[in-house]
Structure 1
């Protein structure tokens, strides 16, 4: 990705701008923009002027800025706006895939260095190239409805910033783009270097409220964004932390699954007790940690073939419940029982890890009788399937009860002996699962 891609993903949208975004539906393309761009003012002789939604919208791609594409606006069908009048956010849906699939949302609230405001300002609408961008300097303020950012250039007047409405707060992220928000209505008069931006979270709300295809989160762009939180080892001795991190970064190269592809093909749909967990960062962090653990056990690449195999032998399940892990066992046992081998180990990820080793690993022989008894929702076949489960292991047990319990053994290696450390971790993890 380069500077030209910032321009390529930005469109002229009537008198404003918009950002092209392919959601988790390869047959559609979104134009994310400001709500007010889709409205006309209606003059009333004896009353205040009002606004009404336009019948059509014209949009122009950056490489053909004089060639209009016109689309009928059908509210609730191809046009969706945020229901809060104070939130200037809307999505227009094009029923075609345009290849704008390397852009991801970024829900940041700080750290806007390297971000840009992109769009087609009013003062360049007569130019051969109408595109422009302004570099973001820093954050002024943030709340749930609005971000106020300061531009590097602090003397722009209304004509120089008008037309940027609906443009993106966007940055290059190696081989992808990150979108943090969309510019709201341009202030009348000089902006003094300040712009107001609708956070990208508000566009996610439009998607959720209308059951639209999801916006792709930034952690689908690089597994490193999830890996960093997995290998923090904040309960490990400071001297050992960098040794473990270095070793497991090497091992992470064995993870060959494309998270976006796994999501898009719904491969893990039955791995989440609640369907909405599939769009959460914690679900994918837990899954990546599972992939890393399986690659250690199998001492090879973690790919889709291995995932299918392990789903019968060492099954991954995620629950976003805040219950004690014992209280979750009835759900886990019920949910994990289908299509598994005898003596299956169920590896569970949760929002909050259990606090003791006794609640991080539990043989199903110890599950209270009343949990595994037949009830109105059960059948004899289901009980038989559940009896195939050998034990339930919380995903954090591997770090806390396997690796950390052997910190003295692992710390005998010097910093830089990553391959030797990795060999020892593999041995310990295999012993842990086969004990």
Structure 2
């Protein structure tokens, strides 16, 4: 996602704004807004427009909405938040929530349709009314669950009015991370310039819990099912000359991912079980809401399924995590830059001699798909033992575990042996071949 694409998620709502958000709901899309945007319009929805692009031209579209309190409109009794539930819209997959606003405070954006930009005589469709304020800094908590934020250049109330219900967030790793919804300027008149208050996503969580029969958790769809990720798995990139030699194997592996989809295991269940223990960098919880970590998990579980000769189910997750652990980092650097984090990752419950699989956003450089203990510089062994997350008897992770990159199962077991796969067009024969390759690779000892 780039800055201009945020607009596709920002709607004109009465005299304010709103944010389109796709939760784990196959039939509905939500509009998150400030409650007073509806109340100030006599508790009605008078204007509701979104903006879509056709042939590089932006068009305004009215969103049909017949408001019914408690059925398709929900407001919090205390907090200044409300949710409009509309028929599902397609293509809203680049916005996810962030709750990491205490540690990550810089470089946020406020997106909405301020009043001073609205001129119905020359711009009846609000095409020129949109504005993003960049460089916003998150401040401390305020009353009624609000958070304070500071906009650069100290805009006044007239410049901000109409932004109510707009989104406060930031672009990261191809997503717009939504931190919350703009509510108001700060109360103190002598401090209003540039100081706003917004409702964090936790306020919307509170609203959702009040209506469990109508609203679902504000998680992106891919957390509800691995089915949203199957096409992005097992890409097995090769040159064009080898494409015909790998196509059958690639398609077979993608088909095998359906067993994980049908098992009932879902990303949100794995997240619920293990939380930040899934991450190399436990200070980056937003990674758990993204797609890449769950693409890695889909591939990992599919590989385990093939090796175990049986289907992995939710009840097996804890046992799997304590025998064959996947840890993920969203880095785009080479995985050797993550060694220090590997040293301090969470290994509780993992016995000595186990395999640790590392997933990252890029394939290893220089063909290094395994990091052996003997390659670790002595300086890295001099570490604060208090930071180690290991069980008794395990002093240094690289002396007790084998560290391999997730891509090694594609590179070492398939692509490097592509000639051996080029003539296999039988599912059982291919399954047996993959089982043998995976098992030999896992059982191989470090030199």
- Does the aligned pair in 1 maintain the 2:334–2:362 contact within 8 Å? no
Distance 1:65 1:211 in 2: 21
Distance 1:352 1:239 in 2: 24
**SS of equivalent to 1:205:** strand
Distance 1:196 1:241 in 2: 51
- Does the aligned pair in 2 maintain the 1:20–1:100 contact within 8 Å? no
Question: Does 1:427 find its partner at 2:414?
Answer: no
Cα distance change on mapping 1:410 and 1:376 into 2, 3 Å:
closer
Post-superposition offset of 1:396 = 0.6
**SS of equivalent to 1:330:** helix
Cα distance change on mapping 1:277 and 1:380 into 2, 3 Å:
closer
- Does the aligned pair in 2 maintain the 1:146–1:197 contact within 8 Å? yes
Question: Does 1:394 find its partner at 2:405?
Answer: yes
Q: How many residues align?
A: 318
2:32 equivalent in structure 1: 32
Distance 1:265 1:103 in 2: 27
2:324 equivalent in structure 1: 314
Question: Does 1:239 find its partner at 2:256?
Answer: no
2:276 equivalent in structure 1: 269
1:290 equivalent in structure 2: 300
Distance 1:286 1:197 in 2: 37
Cα distance change on mapping 1:407 and 1:354 into 2, 3 Å:
same
- Does the aligned pair in 2 maintain the 1:30–1:93 contact within 8 Å? yes
**SS of equivalent to 1:402:** coil
RMSD between aligned residues: 4.9
**SS of equivalent to 2:413:** helix
- Does the aligned pair in 2 maintain the 1:243–1:421 contact within 8 Å? no
Which of 305, 314, 333 in structure 2 is aligned with 1:304?
Answer: 314
Question: Does 1:228 find its partner at 2:231?
Answer: yes
Which of 401, 408, 426 in structure 1 is aligned with 2:419?
Answer: 408
**SS of equivalent to 1:267:** helix
Cα distance change on mapping 1:282 and 1:325 into 2, 3 Å:
same
Distance 1:266 1:380 in 2: 18
Which of 251, 257, 267 in structure 2 is aligned with 1:252?
Answer: 257
- 1:268-320 CA distances to partner (integer Å, 9 max, x unpaired)? 43111232211121111111121122112112212223321121111010112
- Does the aligned pair in 2 maintain the 1:38–1:54 contact within 8 Å? yes
2:191 equivalent in structure 1: none
Post-superposition offset of 1:365 = 4.5
- 1:153-173 CA distances to partner (integer Å, 9 max, x unpaired)? xxxxxxxxxxxx9xxxxxxxx
Provide the TM-score with structure 2 as the length reference: 0.56
Distance 2:381 2:300 in 1: 26
- 1:367-425 CA distances to partner (integer Å, 9 max, x unpaired)? 333323342634797683345732111101111122111111111224xx233222211
Distance 1:239 1:227 in 2: 21
1:106 equivalent in structure 2: 93
Structure 1, unaligned stretches of length 5 or more?
1-12, 41-52, 80-91, 109-143, 148-164, 166-183
Cα distance change on mapping 1:384 and 1:19 into 2, 3 Å:
same
- 1:48-77 CA distances to partner (integer Å, 9 max, x unpaired)? xxxxx8498457985958999785776xx3
Question: Does 1:335 find its partner at 2:345?
Answer: yes
Cα distance change on mapping 1:32 and 1:431 into 2, 3 Å:
same
Structure 2, unaligned stretches of length 5 or more?
1-12, 47-64, 96-108, 132-165, 171-175, 182-197, 206-216
Distance 1:318 1:425 in 2: 24
2:371 equivalent in structure 1: 362
- Does the aligned pair in 2 maintain the 1:57–1:71 contact within 8 Å? no
- Does the aligned pair in 2 maintain the 1:19–1:31 contact within 8 Å? yes
**SS of equivalent to 1:343:** coil
Cα distance change on mapping 1:30 and 1:391 into 2, 3 Å:
same
